[in-house]
Structure 1
């Protein structure tokens, strides 16, 4: 068996944490794995990149954020000093936030996401499209409005239903990534705008369905 680097190990575990998140697995398990990966990448980062990003991230999380994150992780990992302790509060979406931080660190260290990290990033951007201020490149007003209505409807659903929808989107992204990437590359080579590329792709999809 060949040696495994810290970064490779982190990537493999992070991919599993992403799988577990979209499978709506126990949020405590997702958090434990995601935080362990995040800490490894956070510690590795200054040894790989000398751009001060880890220090900026440290300031962003700040003391209270670190206490909350580490407190939950320590509760889940240790019981030698507090065997009767209780976890007073747990946000099931906290693991997703930690996964997001870990994916950003991984991309900056390695230069790119894994496919599963890319699919996770796609879903996060879709769910928080307006909040993140993502620039709309499609000039088809009706299509843009329909996508906006779908996003609003998904955000309004209970968490279990939202995750079930997210899981379908996640697996669809993984299954179709290579084909869609080829279509994007082909469209860019042909000089098509984003709207023209989407029109062409959707018309071809509808023709195939007929």
Structure 2
């Protein structure tokens, strides 16, 4: 399986000639090579995790591609056919078995309304928590995509999340709100946390891939 990181929170997962896209949002440049996409996962409704222009581009290249997300996204993206999934759900699309965890977006501030959020485990290999620190209980996470920066993120809490998951491999994502210096510093902190459990941290920049 090949995992490719794009700008901010967007990931592409390739397996046996098919592709899964996760969180193609407003900080992410347009994707190419979309004909082999079999599903899109959107973890929550914030625009840095999905846009209509991305969905239009995907659906033009791969008509009928299922879009899997929360009820909040289904309401916000009412022009699209959204398959609503929830924590505890499991389904298979093409080459991908998806298990969903979590339920709530991390708190930004008490003045802002809470929203739904999904963590997703792909093929029992890659876990991405969306905008949360939701630990997939009872799961041995082989590869973790861990958030690096966000209005809701405190680096100590992100380190504790990585320590709790204890993945074999980890890389940072959700990072477009950080300067180059900030990204480097936060990567170093998550590298330390990954290594405490015997794992390896990978520094992936946009369009770089990890084969697992």
Q: Greater Rg, structure 1 or structure 2?
A: 1
More helix by share: 1
The reply to whether TM is greater than 0.5 is no
More strand by share: 2
TM-score of Structure 1 vs Structure 2, range by shorter chain:
under 0.3
- TM-score, with length taken from structure 2: 0.26
Which structure has more relative contact order (CA 8 Å, sep 6+)? It is 1
